Amino acid sequence: MLSGPSGVGKGSVVQVLRTRHPDVWLSVSVTTRSPRPGERNGVEYFFVDQSAFDRMAAAGELLEHDAHMGASYGTPRQAVEEQLALGTPVLLEIDLQGARQVRARMPDAQLVFLSPPSFDELARRLVGRGTEDDDAVRERLDRARLEMAAEDEFDVVVVNDDLETAADRLVALMSA
């Protein structure tokens, strides 16, 4: 399970990991937010409306779920359990609240915190991606401060100062 603040590069590290290690299965989360340009339903996320998301959560279909930045996010439980039963290396890319829920529901899961080299670098990355207005960036940075303060809740911290190195470290942790 991989978590870290918004803008730390989780998606980029996962992309490198999947290219170099296609045997790792990446869970596709469900979200109520609108797709960003280029995102496809069922690939980057499963895009659903809030009522469908609420039904999934109430039915226990989500391993973890949380709401932030005006949208809900969650991990479909069945697909994760199926891949684990097959012995497939499974990677969840989730936020801090989701990590806490996974820890409670799957105590044997390995929780990895992806950390930026510095808070200033994180801010630079968030601003540089240009996907949100100044208020949204400030909200993400405020949330990032809280998330970074919780890194000691994780089994391992990996600093993302080089994408390939961070991806290789994740694979090594999954193989251990």
Predicted pLDDT of residue 109: 93
Predicted pLDDT of residue 148: 93
Predicted pLDDT of residue 53: 98
- Whose tokens are 């960003």? That residue is 36
Predicted pLDDT of residue 81: 96
Predicted pLDDT of residue 126: 79
The low-confidence residues of the chain, meaning pLDDT below 70, are: none
- Predicted TM-score (pTM) of the model is 0.85
Q: What is the mean pLDDT of the chain?
A: 92
Predicted pLDDT of residue 25: 94
CB distance 57 to 65 below 8 Å? yes
Q: Where are the beta strands (DSSP E) in the chain?
A: 2-3, 25-26, 29-31, 45-47, 62-68, 71-76, 90-91, 112-115, 156-159
**Structural domains present in the chain:** 2-175 (3.40.50.300)
| Three-state DSSP state, 31 | strand
CB distance 46 to 30 below 8 Å? yes
